Amino acid sequence: MTTVAETPRAPRGRRPMSERRRDLQRLEISREAVRLFRAQGLAATSGEQIAEGVGLSVRTLWRYFRSKESCVEPLLSQSSAAFVAMLRRWPRDRSLEEHLIADARPSSPTSPGDDEAALAVIAMSRAEPAFRAIWLVVHERSEPVLAEVIADRLGRAPEELAVRVQAATLAAALRITTEDYAVALADGVAITGEDMVARLSEAVRAATHGVIGEALT
């Protein structure tokens, strides 16, 4: 604190874009970009096409994203965040499987195709290294939040090495089941939500032998 006065002056000109608004804009761009990527592939899609599709200038596009590949990030983040949010609602007296079943997710009501689009990107990431890299980074970003969830359940600190590793384990289980699901979807194999829940719980239980996933008495 070097300034004594708290500078109570009201801000003058145009207010900065709200974070919410900015995220929505990025999401809109992301939807169009993924649509083009799915239709033409990454290499065949230019920044100009993406910008035109959203009705922005190319210059502005590069103000929202630092590279064209990273345009897929908001869609991936959204589905990742949805899952993390669900885990935050995980009551202590329920097992993971019980909670997954109980907390049936209605997807994002705003745009029902978002989940499918995100899964398509994940499936594409098998052949597209740039997508794979972004997917892994996005997913890793959720680990600290998962660490909080686990720390809360176990009554430990989120910074503890063991808690962080367990969070990474949970994240990995989620990542692997999600990828399996994405690949199956891309190959036209139908997987039910119950299958997903079962596989995810199995993965977590098998990996941790009950360290995570069980109900707490």
Partner DNA sequence: GCCTTTCTGTCATTGAGTGCCATAATAGGA
Partner DNA sequence: TCCTATTATGGCACTCAATGACAGAAAGGC
Q: Which residues bind a second copy (CB under 8 A)?
A: 129, 132-134, 136-137, 140, 161-162, 164-166, 168-169, 171-173, 175-177, 180, 199, 202-204, 206-211
**Least distance in Å: CB of 96 to a second copy?**
13
CB 147 within 8 A of CB 85: no
59 binds, among a second copy, DNA, none (CB under 5 to 8 A by kind): DNA
CB 38 within 8 A of CB 84: no
| Rounded Cα–Cα distance for residues 38 and 40 (Å) | 6
216 binds, among DNA, a second copy, none (CB under 5 to 8 A by kind): none
**Residue number, 57 or 107, with CB nearest to DNA:** 57
Cβ-in-10-Å burial (0-12, 13-18, 19+) of 216 comes to exposed
Verify binding: residue 20, DNA, rule CB under 7 A. Answer: no
**Residue number, 31 or 164, with CB nearest to a second copy:** 164
11 binds, among DNA, a second copy, none (CB under 5 to 8 A by kind): DNA
The Cα-based distances of 55 to 4, 60, 114, 147, 182 in angstroms read: 46, 10, 20, 40, 30
The helix-helix angle for 161-186 and 129-141 (nearest 10°) equals 140
Among 23, 28, 35, 58, binds DNA (CB under 7 A): 58
Contact residues: DNA, CB under 7 A: 9-17, 25, 46-48, 55-60, 62-63, 66-69
